[in-house]
């Protein structure tokens, strides 16, 4: 929860971790304490509601800034190293609105791996019906199989960074369509 002047912002978040990848890593003998891939959706609501004449577009810059800061902070708190904001990208949603996404990069260093696992992390914020949606996610920028020394990588461990990115954007668009 955050506060904007006389407003309070309440958040309800749903987070989904990629349990298949974690299970495949475990079967290959690698226990990783960090999610290697996740997708989260938060709905931000104002208390009290925004006053008449004050629309979400008026508070959107503040909400976006705070969401980006909180996202980068959470990545660091969850053990990512070298977290940095990298670039922005615009994505068209099914209702023809656009969301500006902010990409961060970082790494996790599982003790069992010789090299750190680089992650691409995204956060996007857009208004919807007097509230805001914040969508975030992360995925590896390499195949998980490329970091392992088992020779027995499953299809889950061979998924490409492009496949991960494509799935993230599909989930984001679906979230936009359903909300």
Q: Which tokens in the block code for residue 145?
A: 């199989």
* pLDDT at position 65: 93
- pLDDT at residue 158 is higher than 80: yes
* pLDDT at position 3: 47
Are residues 43 and 130 in contact, defined by beta-carbon separation less than 8 angstroms? no
Q: What is the pLDDT of residues 90-102, one digit of tens each?
A: 999 888 888 999 9
DSSP state of 108: E
∠ CA(169), CA(170), CA(172), 5° rounding? 60
Mean pLDDT over 100-105 rounds to 95
* pLDDT at position 114: 67
pLDDT-wise least confident of 53-62, 75-84, 111-120, 139-148: 111-120
Which residue is associated with the tokens 């208004």? 127
Q: For residue 136, what is the enclosing H or E element?
A: strand 131-140
Q: What is the pLDDT of residues 54-78, one digit of tens each?
A: 778 888 898 999 999 999 999 999 8
- pLDDT above 90 covers a percentage of the chain that reads 42
The whole-chain average pLDDT of the chain stands at 85
* Pure H helices in the chain: 19-27, 56-77, 161-178
pTM of the model: 0.86
Q: Which residue has the higher pLDDT, 167 or 28?
A: 167
Q: Which tokens in the block code for residue 2?
A: 């955050």
- pLDDT at residue 175 is higher than 60: yes
Q: Which domains are assigned to the chain? A: 2-178 (3.40.1000)
């Amino acid at each position: 929860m955050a506060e904007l002047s006389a407003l309070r912002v309440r958040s309800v978040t749903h987070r989904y971790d990629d349990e298949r990848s974690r299970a495949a890593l475990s079967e290959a003998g690698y226990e990783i304490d960090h999610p290697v891939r996740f997708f989260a959706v938060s709905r931000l609501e104002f208390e009290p509601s925004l006053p008449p004449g004050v629309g979400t577009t008026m508070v959107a810059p503040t909400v976006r800034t705070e969401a980006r800061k909180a996202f980068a902070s959470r990545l660091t708190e969850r053990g990512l190293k070298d977290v940095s904001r990298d670039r922005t990208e615009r994505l068209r949603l099914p209702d023809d609105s656009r969301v500006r996404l902010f990409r961060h990069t970082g790494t996790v260093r599982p003790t069992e791996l010789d090299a750190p696992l680089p992650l691409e992390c995204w956060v996007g914020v857009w208004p919807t019906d007097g509230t805001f949606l914040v969508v975030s996610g992360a995925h590896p920028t390499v195949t998980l199989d490329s970091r392992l020394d088992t020779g027995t990588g499953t299809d889950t461990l061979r998924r490409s960074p492009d496949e991960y990115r494509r799935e993230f954007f599909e989930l984001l668009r679906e979230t936009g369509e359903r909300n």
